[in-house]
Amino acid sequence: MWRTPEGNRTLSGVEAEVFLEGLRSLAAELRDQRDDHESDVPAFDTLSFGQRVSALQDVANGLLRSDVPIAVHTAANEAAMYAIYRQLHRMVVDELMVSDEGEEECLDVRGLLCRAGSALRMDGMPPARCTDDTHWERLIETLCDRVLWDRDFEIGSLFLESSQETARSRPDGESEMLVPYFSAIPEDPSDGQVERIIADLLRR
């Protein structure tokens, strides 16, 4: 399970489908590009290839499995989560590029996002054939905000060299300690373990 702004929960229905779409795409790119892969999330990209795969597994287990303990938030796993949602935006941009090049229009990702927005009764939904990627980016960020509290992982360099424990406030009044949040590093599995984890992520 995962502690989200919507409560302690796992994803279900079309919200889980959206997450899985981004997860599988990102896992496949990592499998193919390994250390050369770059996402739109620097805090995720600074991890080693194995650590990135491990962080994706932690996030997937936390958001999709109710039989695992509630995950502790770290800069690494929250950056991995954000990378999954940023991957969805990349996929939308790819769809729009295909349309611009005169090929048959593809609405797979945009159609899925529309179904999610409708199911969750979100305001300001773009139509599936909308070609303005800023509308899609806004929708994806809104979906991400249902599971991700904030973007604290983006300021990690300000704290990693500090030995003081500094509390950060949560909207729900709780607090976490910044240094453990930033210094908690994912496991770096062996090559064989990495391949098995990626295969598992792609099967979900």
Q: What is the mean pLDDT of residues 145-162?
A: 75
Supply the pLDDT for residue 187: 93
pLDDT at residue 170 in the model:
47
pLDDT tier at 106 (50, 70, 90 boundaries)? confident
Q: Which two tokens stand for residue 86?
A: 């940023």
- Find the mean pLDDT for residues 41-45: 94
Average pLDDT of the chain is 88
Work out the pLDDT band at 87, boundaries 50, 70, 90: very high
Percent of the chain, pLDDT > 70? 85
Which positions ≥6 away from 166 have C-beta within 8 Å? 159, 177, 178, 179
- Count H helices, E strands: the chain? 8, 4
Give me 34's structure tokens. Answer: 């390994």
In terms of C-beta density within 10 A (0-12 exposed, 13-18 middle, 19 or more buried), how is residue 11 classed? buried
| Domain extents in the chain | 7-192
Do 57 and 16 contact (CB within 8 A), yes or no? no
Which ranges of 34-158 would DSSP assign to H, the alpha helix?
A: 42-45, 49-64, 75-100, 108-119, 133-144
pTM over 0.85: yes
